[in-house]
Amino acid sequence: MLPRFCLVTDTTSPPDTIYQTVEEALLGGVRMVQYREKHRPRNERFSIAKKLRETTHRLAALFIVNDDIDLAGAVMADGVHLGQEDLPLSVARLVLGPHAIVGISTHNIEEAKRAESEGATYIGFGPVFRSPTKVSDSAPVGIEAISRVACRIGIPLYAIGGLQYVHLTRLIESGAYGVATVTGVSGDIRQNVRQWIQTLGHP
């Protein structure tokens, strides 16, 4: 059973802040972390991902790498999260193995159903709201779109994009299996994570 809460790292943070945030979130109960990085050199990304893999392993959490299948394999991550313009899901399975977690970012019902048919473990659906941490060509879909998609697929749907705690109850009622957030737990990370997980009903 996949955790319902996924912490996504902030690409604007320096490595020490990333490590501290992830550790605090894990101590608060997070059981899935996604490392997202677009701009750092590959050797630096490897060093950060390797340390995060060690931390998540020590604290019994899943570790997912965003976009980079090779990096996920290099640090022995539990899986990878792919966008619509990344390498196909079949390549991720070839590199990481048949049991790896493979998530796919989707923005509409067609993409969601295709991801499921190709064997995705879960989908990220959104952006639900405009995100302060990611520039996207996709317009926010709104919470109502989750209801239309969640009932038509048989794999977990994680709501993504600009999420805050005040949205959580409506997201769950709309059929979201879980949430993935970067900034939603900022501040007192450990306490805020506990609040999100308590409302979700499962880590």
Catalytic residues: 36, 105, 134
The C-alpha atoms of residue 108 and residue 196 are separated, in whole angstroms, by 26
The C-alpha atoms of residue 30 and residue 134 are separated, in whole angstroms, by 22
The three-class DSSP label of residue 76 is coil
Cβ atoms of 103 and 85 closer than 8 Å: no
Q: Report the residue count for the chain.
A: 203
Q: Residue 140 gets which letter from DSSP? A: P
Q: Residue 6 gets which letter from DSSP? A: E
